[in-house]
Amino acid sequence: MTRLLPHPVLTPVLAFIWLLLNNSIAPGQITLGLIFGWAIPVLTIHFWPDKVSIRRPAVLIRYLMVLFYDIIKANFTVARLILGNTDQLHPVFIKLPLDLTTDLAIGLLANSITLTPGTLWARLSDDHSYLLIHALNETDPDRLIATIKQRYEKPLKEIFESC
Amino acid sequence: MLEFLLSLLVLTGASFAFIGSLGLIRLKDLYTRLHGPTKATTLGVGSLLIASAIYFSTYSEQISLHEFLITIFLFITAPVSAHLLAKAALHLGLPSLAEIPEAEEAGQTEMTGTAQTGATEAFEKNERIGSENASPGEKARPEKSESITKTPGTPDQTRP
């Protein structure tokens, strides 16, 4: 089973992307998409060290919606900061201690941090124990860390690492 | 009505893309400048793409969904490129308005240490190759002498 279908999640995603690329839902295209979705993971199995498993799909959908809302908010926040007085900005580097252990979850968290209000992922420590974040304008680092942990890290932990 | 919505989307997209680019001029150091393109541009390009999807779905025979694919790829790749730029800047120790934590500076010296070892190795290697056909000035530039060793027949412009 694991040899024949190594990534059950990747197969439909690749098939969906294939359909988007072709802009069609003809039966032939669906078949071809599914064939690619099956063949690519099988051929590239050595490049995927960890098995991806989504334990809580509902939480994932809610997480993506929260993220989408935050991305739009981030755009307005950053636009206001750029148009405002740039000398008044208070940029700062913040260390965010990590509870996540899977590479995929850390990657998603890091991407979310970069896409959301005024923060940018600068570096992951060598032992994967904290992320170094650059904040565009932040006077209260502790509050920011608490927000990120509550808003992004907790759902990600539930989705990918819940026991 | 639809045209009104479309023009609104296009205008929003254009203004956000413009503000993002404006950030490159107005902000003061590399780290803050990274914020402009990664964020303001995602919504800017995003709404332009939504406008494009609506336009082509309405005015042509087919439903156009390529734009959503572009949006997805953009949202995946924008943070990665920003991260790589920030990481490279940390390693190079570029000046920053924010204070860089001490551990990162320590890690950075460690990094430069290994980078230097690598550079020395490359240097020595080049010296060995270079002793045959390169002048001392070219040894300092490893990539240069490498290209010379690859094409020994071509005349070298930099040689005095």
Between chains, do A123 and B35 touch, taking CB under 8 Å as contact? Answer: no
Greater confidence (B134 vs B96) lies with B96
Mutate to test the interface with A, among B11, B15, B39 (most CBs of A within 10 A): B39
Same domain, B146 and B68: no
Mean pLDDT of A5-22: 79
Per the structure, the count of domains in chain B is: 2
Q: What is the mean pLDDT of chain A?
A: 79
Whether A119 contacts A144, CB under 8 Å: yes
| Nearest CB neighbour to B42, from listed A71, A91, A118 | A71
Same domain, B80 and B122: no
Asked if B88 and B20 sit in the same domain, the reply is yes
Question: What's the rounded Cα separation, in Å, for the pair B87 and A124?
Answer: 9
> To the nearest whole percent, how much of chain B has pLDDT over 70?
60
B27 and B55 together in one domain:
yes
Residue B107 included in any domain? no
pLDDT at A59: 82
Model pLDDT for residues A38-86, shown as the tens digit of each residue: 888 888 777 766 666 677 778 888 888 888 888 888 888 888 888 877 7
Residue B137 has pLDDT above 70, yes or no: no
Answer yes or no: do B37 and B91 share one domain.
yes
The rounded distance, in Å, linking the Cα atoms of A158 and A135 is 26
In a domain, B30, yes or no: yes
pLDDT in tens, B64-117: 778 888 888 888 888 888 888 888 888 887 777 767 766 555 444 444 444 444
Report which secondary-structure segment, H or E, holds B2: helix B2-26
User: Given CB atoms, is A17 within the 8 Å cutoff of chain B?
Assistant: yes
Does B153 lie in the same domain as B77? Answer: no
Is residue B111, in this structure, part of any structural domain at all? no
Residues B123 and B58 in one domain: no
Hey, what amino acid is at B49? L
The shortest CB-CB distance from B90 to any of A23, A92, A122 is to A122
The secondary structure of residue A117, as a DSSP letter, is T
Determine the angle formed by the axes of helices A57-83 and B41-59, rounding to 10 degrees. 110
Residue B79 in domain: yes
Residue B31 Cα distances to A78, A90, A101, A155, angstroms:
14, 12, 27, 28
Q: What is the pLDDT of residue A162?
A: 60
Q: Quick one: B131 and B95 in the same domain?
A: no
Domain hosting residue B125, numbered range: 116-160
**Torsion sign, CA atoms A36, A39, A44, A49:** positive
Residues of A whose CB is below 8 A from B20: 79, 82
* Chain A residues with CB-CB distance to B22 below 8 A: 82-83
Q: B40 or A120, which is more confident?
A: A120
Sorting pLDDT into bands at 50, 70 and 90, what band is B8? Answer: very high
